[in-house]
């Protein structure tokens, strides 16, 4: 009997350990949900289905209590107080609410916003919208390593500047901006500081007090929580920040975001934050070691380049260009690896990633880039496999590449007159 | 985006990868595309008696559809007369490989590479290059 039990246990362990293909290495796009998060959410779909705004019966109270608890869990992860957390449908909404909401709320004070060229489209397009409403937006360039130049930020500040919005960690290259210094410059000139921290929260320590953050966007599905739920942190003290609601209705979330709360989603976001709080430190250590191994092994390949600053970088990301190999073709060769590329062979414009281009990368290097994004469930075995497959595929495609052949023959590719097409 | 079976087949088992001696007067070389655009194709033909293509080789830097388009082109070229090769239309490639609209440029590039290789051969052998009037789809 005992033997039997042991045997079953061993089998289960073996099954768990067996590698499933394809291997998911695109954790910056989204993460699988942690089963512990799912467990926390499930009751709130069925038995605990109440509306958190129903004040007159137990169903509502139960839901409200769950939301309050989640608010604490989220606040704790970023060093905020629970009253400063506004639940949203995700970081796209949080970014929009922050940019448009601050612009509308503070337009008497000024109409100038500063952001950077490597921001997520949710920030960039919200800024474009503000420009249409009469706002003025400065898009700071970044240096070769993806960091903004603090001197340039200082010079861009004007008495009209109401908001500086710079992301914490970049989604394509993982570069971490000097948030604390940026906040200090914004505050010195009387502006608020907003950060899109979608990629950083839960991966590295983020603290709104220590970092001097006034507004912060985060998202559930990047931290092993559910999709379609996120939050905006809005500072309440020193200074008390307000944003004009972009969604009108029943006045939920202190009037800043109306709409019946997504209770299961919010419970999941809370649980996800709690798990990050507990496991972030060891997870970051484990993942950065695996990432470093992957990067070290892959940069052994000739003509491979790591994109972005490697010192100020999220622990789980490596963005590498394999010159003379096109990214999309490479991804097809590595079909057992789920990664992403800065190549945009499918887009009508044929424009490669704007983030990589803003680092000053030539188009051909941008087309040759692959982003490896490790995550909580990535194993060492999977990383080893990824290394092998990537090496094999790069070498194979280089055998097929006329550019590689020319490079090997010593032809200067920059001297060739390429026909536009 | 999912690739068609034929694209996957050509991509996984590319036909006629390689290099012909571009200094030979029997060989025509077409190099089209640009690294900045994410695809470069080099297509070479070897022409024998009676203007028949006896060999074709390619190397391509690009996505799966670009590699498949050039692999297919070399297959079609072998054994064709130069005149018939000149008539290969990019839409034939689109159809054969079931390329989606966003990948049509890959077939255009393959057609351009065929024409460039033929013209290179013609010019090498004292003939005029044929200027294509075609407007691409
Ligand atoms: C940096 C950054 N900001 C914003 C978003 C948008 O988040 P969501 O998918 O929750 O709308 C993402 C995710 O794609 C992101 O990486």
List, for residues A41-99, the tens digit of each pLDDT value: 999 999 999 999 999 999 999 999 999 999 999 999 999 999 999 999 999 999 999 99
Is cis: bond before A239, omega within 30 of 0?
yes
pLDDT digits (tens, 9 = 90+) for A219-233: 999 999 999 999 999
Task: State the average pLDDT for chain B.
Answer: 92
Q: How much is the pTM?
A: 0.91
User: Given the structure tokens 């004070």, which residue do they identify?
Assistant: A109
Strand residues in A166-291 grouped as ranges (E): 192-196, 215-219, 230-234
The 3-state DSSP class for residue A322 equals strand
Ligand 1: residue whose CA is nearest its atom 7: A91
Contact A181, A130 (CB under 8 A): no
pLDDT digits (tens, 9 = 90+) for B67-115: 999 999 999 999 999 999 999 999 999 999 999 988 999 999 999 999 9
Is B63 known to be catalytic? no
Contact state of B61 with A346 under an 8 Å Cβ cutoff: no
φ/ψ (deg, to 5) at A86? -110, 120
CA atoms of A385 and A74, how far apart (whole Å): 35
CA atoms of A255 and A264, how far apart (whole Å): 21
Contact state of B62 with A345 under an 8 Å Cβ cutoff: yes
| Residue A69: Cβ within 10 Å count | 16
Instruction: Give which of B44, B61, B67 to mutate to test A binding, by max A Cβ within 10 Å.
Output: B61
Is cis: bond before A396, omega within 30 of 0?
no
CA B74 vs. chain centroid, Å, equals 6
pLDDT digits (tens, 9 = 90+) for A278-296: 999 999 999 999 999 999 9
Is B37 known to be catalytic? yes
Q: What is the ipTM of this complex?
A: 0.91
| Letter string b/e over residues B120-137, b meaning 16 or more CB atoms within 10 A of that residue's CB | bbbebeeeeeeeeeeeee
pLDDT digits (tens, 9 = 90+) for A365-386: 999 999 999 999 999 999 999 9
**Is the shortest distance between the CB of A92 and ligand 1 below 6 Å?**
yes
Q: What is the pLDDT of residue A13?
A: 47
Per-residue pLDDT at A339 exceeds 60: yes
Task: List CB contacts (< 8 A) between A329 and chain B.
Answer: 11, 61-64, 66-67
Q: How far is CA A393 from CA A19, A55, A295, A367, A400, in A?
A: 20, 60, 16, 16, 11
The residues near B129 (Cβ < 8 Å, ≥ 6 apart) are B119, B122, B123
Segment A97-124 shows an average pLDDT of 97
Per-residue pLDDT at A22 exceeds 80: yes
The model's confidence at residue B133, banded by pLDDT at 50, 70 and 90, is low
Q: What is the pLDDT of residue B1?
A: 60
Query: Where is B20: in which H helix or E strand?
Result: none
Contact B110, B92 (CB under 8 A): no
CA of A120 to the centre of ligand 1 (A): 7
CA distance A365 to chain B (A): 8
Beta bridge partners of A33: none
Ligand 1 atom at minimal distance to the Cα of residue A171: 16
What's the DSSP call for residue A319?
A: E
Select from A376, A339, A317 the least CA-distant residue to A25: A339
Task: State the average pLDDT for chain A.
Answer: 93
Tell me, yes or no, if A346 comes closer than 8 A to chain B by beta carbon: yes
């Amino acid at each position: 009997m005992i033997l039997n039990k042991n045997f079953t246990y061993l089998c289960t362990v073996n099954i768990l350990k067996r590698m499933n293909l394809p291997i998911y290495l695109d954790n910056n796009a989204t993460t699988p949900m942690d089963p512990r998060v799912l467990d926390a959410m499930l009751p709130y779909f069925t038995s605990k289905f109440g509306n958190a705004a129903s004040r007159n019966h137990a169903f509502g109270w139960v839901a409200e209590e769950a939301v309050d608890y989640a608010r604490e869990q989220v606040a704790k992860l970023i060093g905020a107080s629970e009253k400063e957390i506004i639940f949203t449908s995700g970081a796209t909404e949080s970014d929009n609410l922050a940019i448009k909401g601050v612009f509308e709320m503070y337009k008497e004070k000024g109409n100038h916003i500063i952001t950077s060229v490597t921001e997520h489209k949710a920030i960039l397009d919200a800024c474009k919208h503000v420009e249409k409403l009469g706002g003025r937006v400065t898009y700071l360039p970044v240096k070769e390593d993806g960091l903004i130049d603090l001197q340039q930020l200082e010079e861009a500040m004007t008495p009209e500047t109401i908001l500086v919005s710079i992301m914490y960690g970049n989604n394509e290259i993982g570069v971490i901006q000097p948030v604390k210094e940026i906040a200090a410059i914004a505050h010195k000139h009387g502006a608020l500081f907003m950060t899109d921290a979608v990629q950083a929260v839960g991966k590295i320590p983020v603290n709104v007090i220590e970092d001097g953050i006034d507004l912060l966007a985060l998202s559930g599905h990047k931290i092993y929580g559910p999709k379609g739920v996120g939050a905006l942190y809005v500072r309440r003290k020193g200074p008390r920040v307000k944003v004009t609601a972009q969604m009108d209705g029943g006045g939920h979330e202190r009037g800043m975001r109306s709409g019946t709360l997504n209770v299961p989603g919010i419970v999941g976001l809370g649980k996800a934050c709690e798990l990050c709080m507990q496991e972030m430190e060891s997870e970051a250590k484990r993942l950065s070691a695996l990432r470093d191994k992957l990067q070290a092994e892959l940069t052994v390949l000739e003509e491979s380049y790591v994109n972005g600053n490697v010192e100020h970088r999220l622990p789980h990301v490596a963005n590498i260009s394999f010159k003379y190999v096109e990214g999309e073709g490479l991804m097809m060769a590595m079909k057992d690896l789920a990664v992403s590329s800065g190549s945009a062979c499918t887009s009508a414009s044929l424009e490669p990633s704007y983030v990589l281009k803003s680092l000053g990368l030539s188009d051909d290097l941008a087309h040759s880039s692959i982003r490896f994004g490790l995550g909580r469930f990535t194993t060492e075995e999977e990383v080893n496999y990824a290394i092998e497959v990537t090496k094999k595929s790069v070498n194979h495609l280089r055998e097929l590449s006329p550019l590689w052949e020319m490079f090997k023959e010593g032809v200067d590719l920059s001297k060739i007159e390429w026909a536009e097409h | 985006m999912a690739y068609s079976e034929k694209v996957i087949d050509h991509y996984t088992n590319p036909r006629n990868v390689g290099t012909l001696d571009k200094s030979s007067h029997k060989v025509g070389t077409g190099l089209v595309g640009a690294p900045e655009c994410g695809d470069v194709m080099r297509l070479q033909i070897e022409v024998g008696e009676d203007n028949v293509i006896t060999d074709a080789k390619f190397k391509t830097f690009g996505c799966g559809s670009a590699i498949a388009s050039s692999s297919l082109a070399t297959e079609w070229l072998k054994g064709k007369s130069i005149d018939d090769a000149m008539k290969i239309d990019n839409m034939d490639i689109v159809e054969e490989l079931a390329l989606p609209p966003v990948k049509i440029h890959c077939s255009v590039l393959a057609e351009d590479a065929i024409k460039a290789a033929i013209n290179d051969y013609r010019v090498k052998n004292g003939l005029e290059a044929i200027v294509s009037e075609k407007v691409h789809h």
